[in-house]
């Protein structure tokens, strides 16, 4: 009779233990994950840090964490980390053993292989008792983001003859009268606005005196990236690597221009990968390189409208005294007509061809 009672006792004990784990396994368990930086460049190595805390007396004999993130980040090989790669996403599975009142911090080496905006919205935690009789799961929201900027190239790597045009940019200025800068007073001249009259100086001198306005140098550049491979392309980009090269051109030229004090805008017929409306990118001239790099990291290669139409919208806005650099795989007839409209308004227009991979870009 001892053996049956022993078996029954073991079964009852296992059921009690399983009941305890079912009620308490995921209580007082917290989890966080973060990257060592919010932004990095293509090819750069960073760290992804996982922290998990079991703040109770009950140990967890096994705990499984599973999450998905878009491809483009390469994780180094590590014990207790499994990675399965799909066409678009890769699944990460981490395994832990958590003793009572245990805090574990695990670091993963990550290589940023591709430009992009990487989201990690949640992680699923699964645990149970030692015997596998019960299994509990819970999803933890994370809202984790990583921006990967395009790599900056050397100017010598850009196709000719763009180097000579870039060299002219720092010395090219449009001199305009600035209504907010005053350089003194002068005598009234025919045609001066009455709003310029300095009445105190007029009273002192006995003759009409007006404010003398100063002049300021204004230099503007708008970089236009066309995600079309050809003028007959509809929506899907078929040569992604070629457009990615064009994105690197944008980043490199923007860095050069901003270093020389030239405010730089950016437009593209792609769209932003930020959950907003499917609209083309039309960013006003900026003075910080990081602002442009953020747009390039978020750029989704999904054509929103033909590039010629985007240039026509710029012309319809009446923009003047601006240099437009069109970075494109083609110079179709409609695209050239739209560029001509910008030229007729007094803007400068230059072209930078995105060469096919493996071909001489000169």
In a domain, 17, yes or no: no
Flag whether 277 is in a domain: yes
Question: 72-88: string of b/e by CB count within 10 Å (b at 16+)?
Answer: bbeeeeeeebeeeeeee
Structural domain contains residue 10: no
CATH code for the domain of 247: 3.40.50
**CB-based burial label for 207 (10 Å; 0-12, 13-18, 19+):** exposed
Pairing of strands 135-149, 39-41: parallel
pLDDT (tens digit, 9 = 90+) per residue, 331-361? 999 999 999 999 999 899 999 999 987 554 4
Could you report the per-residue pLDDT of 80-134, keeping only the tens digit for each? 666 766 667 788 888 889 999 999 998 989 999 999 999 988 899 999 877 777 7
Cis peptide before 210 (omega within 30 of 0): no
One domain, residues 187 and 113: no
Q: Are residues 223 and 327 in the same domain?
A: yes
Q: Are residues 105 and 121 in the same domain?
A: yes
66, 124 in Cβ contact below 8 A? yes
Is there a single domain that holds both residue 135 and residue 210? Answer: no
Assess if residue 12 is contained within a domain.
Answer: no
What average pLDDT does the segment 303-319 reach? Answer: 94
Counts of helices then strands in the chain (DSSP H, E):
7, 19
Burial of 71 per CB tally in 10 Å (0-12, 13-18, 19+)? middle
| Of residues 335, 344, 332, 339, the one with CA closest to residue 222 | 339
Predicted confidence at residue 9, as pLDDT, reads 62
Total structural domains in the chain? 3
Query: Are residue 232 and residue 200 in the same domain, yes or no?
Result: no
Tell me, yes or no, whether 209 and 64 share the same domain.
no
Specify whether 159 is located in the same domain as 286: yes
The parent domain of residue 314 ranges over: 155-173+219-353
In-domain check, residue 282: yes
Shared-domain flag, residues 329 and 345: yes
- 6 within domain boundaries: no
Considering the domain architecture, whether residues 32 and 136 belong to the same structural domain is answered as: yes
Specify if 199 maps to a domain: yes
Whether 360 maps to a domain, the answer reads no
* Tokens representing residue 207 in the block: 């003759």
**Same structural domain, 187 and 286:** no
- Confidence class for position 1, pLDDT limits 50, 70, 90: low
Whole-model pTM? 0.80
**Token pair belonging to 122:** 């949640």
**Token pair for 342:** 């910008």
Q: How far apart are CA 296 and CA 265, in angstroms?
A: 12
Contact 168, 206 (CB under 8 A): no
């Amino acid at each position: 009779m001892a053996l049956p009672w022993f078996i029954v006792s073991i079964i009852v004990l296992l059921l009690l233990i399983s009941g305890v784990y079912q009620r308490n396994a995921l209580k007082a368990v917290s989890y966080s994950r973060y990257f060592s930086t919010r932004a990095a460049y293509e090819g750069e190595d960073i760290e992804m840090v996982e922290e998990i805390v079991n703040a109770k007396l009950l140990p967890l004999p096994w705990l499984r964490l599973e999450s998905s993130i878009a491809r483009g980040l390469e994780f180094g090989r590590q014990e207790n980390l499994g990675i399965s790669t799909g066409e678009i996403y890769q699944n990460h599975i981490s395994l832990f053993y958590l003793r009572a009142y245990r805090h574990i911090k695990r670091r993963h080496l990550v290589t940023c292989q591709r430009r992009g905006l990487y989201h990690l919205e949640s992680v699923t935690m699964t645990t149970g008792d030692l015997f596998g009789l019960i299994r509990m799961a819970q999803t933890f929201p994370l809202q984790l983001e990583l921006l990967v900027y395009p790599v900056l190239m050397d100017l010598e790597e850009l196709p000719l003859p763009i180097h000579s045009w870039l060299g002219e940019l720092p010395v090219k200025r449009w001199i305009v009268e600035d209504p907010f800068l005053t350089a003194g007073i002068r005598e009234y001249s025919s045609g001066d606005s009455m709003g310029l009259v300095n009445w105190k100086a007029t009273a002192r001198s006995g003759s009409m005196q007006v404010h003398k306005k100063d002049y300021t140098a204004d230099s503007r550049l708008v970089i236009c990236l066309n995600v079309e491979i050809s003028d007959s392309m509809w929506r899907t980009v078929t040569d992604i690597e070629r457009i990615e090269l064009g994105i690197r051109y944008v980043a490199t030229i923007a860095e050069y221009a901003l270093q020389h004090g030239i405010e730089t805008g950016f437009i593209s017929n792609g769209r932003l990968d930020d959950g907003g409306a499917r609209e083309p990118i039309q960013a006003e001239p900026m003075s910080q390189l990081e602002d442009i790099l953020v747009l390039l990291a978020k750029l989704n290669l999904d054509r929103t409208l033909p590039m010629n139409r985007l240039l026509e919208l710029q012309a319809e806005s009446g923009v003047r005294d601006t240099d437009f650099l069109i970075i494109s795989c083609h110079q179709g007839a409609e695209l050239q007509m739209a560029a001509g409209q910008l030229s007729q308004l007094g803007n400068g227009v230059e072209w930078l061809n995105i060469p096919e991979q493996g071909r001489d870009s000169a």
